[in-house]
Amino acid sequence: MSATQTSASAADAGANASEAFRAAAARRAAAATSQERTDRLLRRTLEAIYDVIRTEEVSYPEFQAVKRWLMQVGEVGEWPLLLDVFVEHEIEKVAAKTQRGTTGTIEGPYYLPGQYRLPAATTLPMRPDEKGARLVFSGQVRDLDGTALAGAELDVWQADADGYYSGFAPNIPPGNLRGVVVTDADGRFVVTTIKPAPYRIPTDGPTGAMIAAAGWHPWRPAHLHLMVRAEGHRQVTTQLYFDGGDWLDSDVASATKDDLVLALRRQDDGSYAASYDFELEPVAKP
């Protein structure tokens, strides 16, 4: 990649997202799926595809176009992007049925572990000339019964004011606008950052090409990503959105939920303030 290149390409983002996913998969225990379940899920998935082929009378040229496109998705490394945008929301809704506390939503392809631990009152790592309106995001982490959770971790990541994530676009320092904020003795945090821009699916890759071919739009509303964890509690993965922002009602990733939209307060110095309190569900004790 040339040093003068400033905008992220689908290949940059895709290759890095594929690598991040492989690394995350290596840290996780392999899923124990029985042959019975594999057989059932495979058959039902294939039947759903056959049903579309039969009822829509899908032609050879259409089949070949899909094949060519699927090959490109792999070549550019966009499987994490494609699956997180178009499939993860339904998996998350299934998981949400048995979860209490703060509403979750999808993780998406751009989480990176191992960021700096930051105190409860902090500013996210950012460039000296970081573009964008200042945003002061504050709140508290509590148990379902209202007990404040001191030492809880808010693992935060977000796009910059151009809609790009560090680690997945050129010319952004590693760890930019990422960090693990640790709550104080009252479970509280005050994080200064910038207001992220809406995110656009790269238009130069196969996912963007598919969206354009179908006449859809490639946008996600502006959002903060969070994983919130505390000892003895179930980790919550969620996103927070901003009231009045674009694309809230037509997120290409179908990952907005009404109770995750923050009210923004404009402050005297021109910055924005927003608050959210998290409630974590205890894990059953053995």
Give the residues lining the site for ligand MBD (CB under 6 A). 81, 84-85, 106, 108-110, 199, 220, 253, 255
User: What is the residue type of 94?
Assistant: V
**Alpha-carbon 111 to chain mean position:** 7
Residue 11's nearest CA partner among 209, 205, 194 is 205
Nearer to ligand MBD, 139 or 198 (CB): 198
Nearer to ligand MBD, 191 or 226 (CB): 226
Find the residue with minimal CB distance to ligand MBD: 108
202 binds Fe ion (CB under 5 A): no
CB of 239 to Fe ion, least distance (A): 7
Sign for the pseudo-dihedral over CA of 165, 167, 168, 173: positive
Judged by CB under 5 A, the residue of 77, 108, 187, 196 near Fe ion is: 108
- Please name the helix (run of DSSP H) or strand (run of DSSP E) that holds residue 91, with its range, or none: helix 88-96
* Those residues with Cβ within 8 angstroms of residue 178's Cβ, 6 or more apart along the chain or in another chain: 112, 115, 124, 125, 156, 157, 158, 166, 167
User: Which among ligand MBD, Fe ion, none contacts residue 82 (Cβ within 5 to 8 A by kind)?
Assistant: none
User: Which among ligand MBD, Fe ion, none contacts residue 84 (Cβ within 5 to 8 A by kind)?
Assistant: ligand MBD
As a dihedral over the C-alpha atoms of residue 256, residue 260, residue 266, residue 272, rounded to 10 degrees, the angle is -90
Supply the DSSP string of 6-48, one letter for each residue. Answer: -SPPHHHHHHHHHHHHHHHHHHSPPP---HHHHHHHHHHHHHH
CB of 251 to ligand MBD, least distance (A): 9
User: Which among Fe ion, ligand MBD, none contacts residue 179 (Cβ within 5 to 8 A by kind)?
Assistant: none
| CA geometry: angle 181, 184, 185, nearest 5 deg | 155
User: Which among Fe ion, ligand MBD, none contacts residue 191 (Cβ within 5 to 8 A by kind)?
Assistant: none
User: Which among Fe ion, ligand MBD, none contacts residue 200 (Cβ within 5 to 8 A by kind)?
Assistant: none
* Those residues with Cβ within 8 angstroms of residue 230's Cβ, 6 or more apart along the chain or in another chain: 141, 149, 151, 152, 153, 280
Nearer to ligand MBD, 92 or 143 (CB): 92
Nearer to Fe ion, 110 or 189 (CB): 110
Nearer to Fe ion, 226 or 230 (CB): 226
User: Which among Fe ion, ligand MBD, none contacts residue 240 (Cβ within 5 to 8 A by kind)?
Assistant: none
| Chain residues that interact with Fe ion, rule: CB under 5 A | 108
